[in-house]
Homo-oligomer: A and B are copies of this chain.
Amino acid sequence: MSLSLNQWTTRQWSLPEAVDGCARHGLEAIGLWREKVAESGLAQSVKLVRAAGLRVSSLCRGGFLTAGGLPGEEGRTAFARALEDNRRAIDEAAELSAACLVLVVGGLPGVKPGEPLPAAGFTRDLAGARERVAEALAELAPYAGERGVKLALEPLHPIYCPDRAVLSTLGQALELSLPYPEEQVGVIVDTFHVWWDPRLFEDVARAGSRIAGYQVCDYLHPLPEDVLLGRGMMGDGVIDFPPITAAVRAAGYTGDVEVEIFNADVWAADPDEVVATMKARYEQVVLA
Contacts and interface: CB of A to CB of B under 8 A. Distances in A.
Interface string A7-24: 000000000000000000
Contacts of A125: 240
Contacts of A162: 219, 221, 238
28 contacts: A108-B238, A111-B221, A115-B222, A116-B222, A117-B221, A117-B237, A117-B238, A124-B239, A124-B240, A126-B196, A126-B240, A157-B158, A157-B159, A158-B158, A158-B196, A158-B197, A159-B159, A159-B223, A162-B219, A162-B221, A163-B221, A163-B222, A168-B196, A168-B198, A169-B197, A169-B198, A223-B227, A227-B227
Interface string A138-178: 00000000000000000001110111000011011000000
Interface string A82-118: 0000000000000000000000000010010111110
Given A219-B162, A221-B117, A223-B227, A198 B130 contact: yes
Interface in A185-233: 195-199, 219, 221-223, 225, 227
Q: State the number of copies, please.
A: 2
Nearest to A115: B222
Contacts of A108: 238
Contacts of A117: 221, 237-238
Nearest to A201: B127
A244 to B, nearest CB: 10
Contacts of A130: 198
Contacts of A168: 196-198
